[in-house]
Chains A and B, each alone.
Chain A
């Protein structure tokens, strides 16, 4: 069975600082990995996905994530945080199809 662990339920950064949201996965077979963002009162929006092509995946809004098989990690980064990045971020894994297994989410707060 697949699982996802997101380290840190809340992360706070200053505007302009590096954003690093951590995600570790468990899967017995090569996984597909995703990051979704949820703004208040909105649905889940796909930021980026890894599907066994390039290990460094670039997404929308300046975010990127690197798949590291040896560390079973798929951390999300952004070089410079913007106030509009404040939201909840979810890492998810799937093996087959679109039955996603989500992490618990990390709420990102951006301080001015």
Chain B
């Protein structure tokens, strides 16, 4: 069964550094998402992306965050200047459509900001 793949599985970075989290969604999916889970807290929606633009974003997704689909297969989340509070598990997800098809999640990237 096709799956969403995320790299790296664990990223350690220093505060103030830029990080790029990478995802390869399922090939025939059109909608892409980033969610995150801070340790001990709920999984939270960050952003959804369709047709090469952001379709919705949460309050968390401020100017420090950006997403991009640089080619036909990758979907990236960039954090420009990481803060300690950005430490979390970041999940990429994709779906065939925006309503009726389920999200397929990757295994996540654990980001640790020191």
Contact = CB atoms under 8 A, between A and B. Distances in A.
Contacts of B41: 104
Contacts of B91: 43-44
By DSSP majority rule, is chain A's interface helix, strand, loop, or mixed? loop
Contacts, number: 54
Interface stretch (A21-29, A45-53, A62-70): A45-53
B48 A99 contact: yes
A97 B42 contact: no
Interface residues of B, number: 26
Contacts of A96: 99
A36 B37 CA distance: 14
Given A43-B105, A44-B93, 10 more contacts: A43-B4, A43-B6, A44-B105, A92-B43, A97-B48, A98-B31, A98-B93, A98-B103, A100-B43, A102-B42
13 contacts: A36-B105, A41-B107, A42-B107, A43-B106, A43-B108, A45-B105, A96-B99, A97-B48, A97-B56, A98-B98, A103-B42, A104-B42, A105-B43
Please give me the 10 A-B residue pairs with the lowest Cβ-Cβ distance, nearest first: A43-B105, A44-B105, A102-B43, A43-B107, A97-B98, A46-B102, A43-B106, A99-B45, A102-B42, A104-B42
